[in-house]
Amino acid sequence: MEKLIFYFLFSLLITSFHLHADEHISYLDTNKLSGNVRYVEVSSSDVRSYFDTIKEENTISKEKVLIDNMGNEFELLQFEKGKPITFYEYEYDQNNKFIKMRIHSAKGIEYFEYLYNEFDKISKIEIRDENGNLLSRSEYKYAKEKKSKVEWHFTYNINKEIDFTSKTLFNEKGKPAEITFYNNDGSISSFIRYTYDNKNEIYETYDADGELYLSVITTYNDDHLPIKEITKWTGAFSNIEGSEQKYEYEYDDRNNWIKKIEFEALRKFGETIYEPTSSITRTISYYGDASLIPQTIKPDILHSSISDAGDNKKQSNIYVYEKIDPFDDINTIIFILDAHEGKSPYGDNISFIIRAKPTITKIYINWQSYFLRSASKKCYYPAFSTLVN
């Protein structure tokens, strides 16, 4: 091993005030639905292209969501490999304000409580285990600086020590304009700047010295759904490969999308082509439909590991595939080994990755932990991927 480099990977900040690193995981916040929706099933699959035909090959994950007649999600069940792994229950007060969440897993239950200030802005979130022990506490403070709205976010551990601090400046339309992340000693660790126009959203990530190292450009359609995303690493991280994806949608008769297909840009024979890589299918039922809708989706049992065999013998998932690197047209062999035990803080597999080219081999450990949460509901904390050149 010649050198070891740690880098932070940032993702798009969710603008809704209650969607921060350890808060309300809501399907509806990032998947706006039209009409009086009662029930949604969502499945994610790998796809491949065969002679211009897109075929789903493997279901990666699945979700079921129940929604009340006020438009609030009140139950969510997540599956992997066909097994229910996590169940969420949401509770609202008489003013339809979200106040509690219970997360059930094979490890037990975690309780989230949301407290608000006199202006109905969130002021505190407390997370406890099923014995009432405090696991974490987040606090929010609001102010104005140079006519800009400011939100401070502090997260404390069980020892009442600060684990995470951020400061968000909002523009005149209430969208994030800049987010600054702080070390525990109060110094700046990094910051993100956002710019917007009618169709594009651009966020750029800088280190503490103000050097740009990550930019992401997302293009939206008229329904404000992402249709293209371009990621580029620069500066000290220019050796990390960028990417380009585009997305296509199918809609139902109420203008809700029911299928989303993701394509990845690849360079072949000197030209850029878009290969389908994954799809998301949504089956939506509405109040008044004749279809049978369950009153609850709470499972009888939750499974702890998607890689457990029937006899509880632990296994590791191994993937090997080959593709052309879109940036240099060089054939690349990728080997991925998922750990048979140990997960990221939010249940994702930790993976050992080898990317081999004729001229260079890179070895990664993907810890599946980042700073923020993206619109796909993955949660991100300040942790690392590890790269060995």
Instruction: Provide the H-helix boundaries in the chain.
Output: 27-30
Is the pTM for the entire model greater than 0.75? no
Assess whether pLDDT exceeds 60 at residue 75.
yes
Could you list the residue range(s) of the whole structural domain that residue 368 is in?
A: 4-388
- Lowest average pLDDT, out of 16-30, 185-199, 221-235, 355-369, goes to 16-30
Q: What is the DSSP string of 148-180?
A: EEEEEEEEE-TTS-EEEEEEEEE-TTS-EEEEE
Q: Contact, 344 vs 338, CB < 8 A?
A: no
Q: Contact, 255 vs 33, CB < 8 A?
A: no
What is the rounded CA–CA span in Å between residue 273 and residue 284? 32
Provide the 3-class DSSP secondary structure of residue 63. Answer: strand
Mean of pLDDT values over 372-379 = 33
What is the rounded CA–CA span in Å between residue 71 and residue 237? 43
What pLDDT was estimated at residue 341? 59
The amino acid present at 9, given as its one-letter code, is: L
What is the rounded CA–CA span in Å between residue 20 and residue 259? 27
The amino acid present at 263, given as its one-letter code, is: F
Which two structure tokens, joined as six digits, stand for 42? 């969502």
Provide the 3-class DSSP secondary structure of residue 115. Answer: strand
Which two structure tokens, joined as six digits, stand for 202? 């651009």
Query: Considering its fold, how many domains does the chain have in total?
Result: 1
Confidence of residue 296 (pLDDT cuts 50, 70, 90): very high
Assess whether pLDDT exceeds 60 at residue 5.
no
3-state helix, strand, coil in the chain (%, to 5): 0, 60, 40
Confidence of residue 355 (pLDDT cuts 50, 70, 90): confident
What pLDDT was estimated at residue 323? 66
pLDDT tens-digit readout, 173-231 = 888 999 999 988 889 999 999 999 889 999 899 989 999 988 999 999 988 889 999 98
- Lowest average pLDDT, out of 206-220, 249-263, 367-381, goes to 367-381
Burial class (CB in 10 A: 0-12, 13-18, 19+), 154: middle
Instruction: Provide the H-helix boundaries in 300-376.
Output: none
Which residue carries 């699945």 as its tokens?
62
